Amino acid sequence: MKSAILVFPGTNREHDAAAALRQICGSEPTFVWHGETELPAGLDLIVVPGGFSYGDYLRSGAMAAQSPIMGAVKAAADKGVHVLGVCNGFQIITEAGLLPGALMRNASLKFVCRDVFLSVGTTSSAFTSALQIGQVLQVPVAHHDGNYFADAATLDQLEAEDRIAFRYSSPDGEFEEGWSPNGSQRDIAGILSENRRVLGLMPHPENAIDPLLGSTDGAGLFRSLVQSLVG
């Protein structure tokens, strides 16, 4: 599996993402600086990792979405290359138009850094194929602007097209008030593009791949990728 990880000024999770790709997918990723205009040839996966690109000035992800490399990312996505945006990466690819909606300030108006529980909403994607619908994952979040917003028509479309990959839930998989860390509409933690090849999510699966980190539940996403993209 050939992979690349984008790096912007302020990115801070690129090496965590690389560790997950190496350990679970057996892929040695290429780091691509935001000022580049081309991606390596033959990519299977592009990762847009977490951090605080451009210091989150203007709006989280807004400046990074205009970086030179994003033109190549959009072109690759149009050709069917898989794209994974995590936390700030979710914000960036949403600002770039690869996913609908917006990530707003957390409802608490506070930065949130803790473990959350995610209920798997679909297995019909390369990112979730090794998981089970309703499976609950324990994965950390660390964000200030993770409150997913979209208009009612978009939310209904995401539901109807089975594109809500993950929702915040209780440890038992129940959707109850108080379990979402940010106030996201319909408890949305991660969504898929129309072609199901782009996934954006606020939690950090790359930081839940080793027992020493408190959970290995994030490993399933990376196992899904290698099984789907390599076979």
**Catalytic center residues:** 87, 204, 206
Rounded to the nearest 5 degrees, what angle is found at the Cα of 206, between the Cα atoms of 186 and 46? Answer: 85
Give one DSSP letter per residue of 89-116, joined into a string: HHHHHHHTTSSSSEEE--TTSS-EEEEE
The CA–CA distances, whole Å, from 48 to 17, 96, 159, 162, 201 equal 9, 12, 24, 23, 11
CA 177, CA 179: separation in Å to the nearest integer? 6
Strand-pair category, 136-143 with 112-120: antiparallel
Contact of 113 with 140, CB cutoff 8 Å: yes
Report the chain's C-alpha Rg in angstroms: 16
CA 168, CA 177: separation in Å to the nearest integer? 10
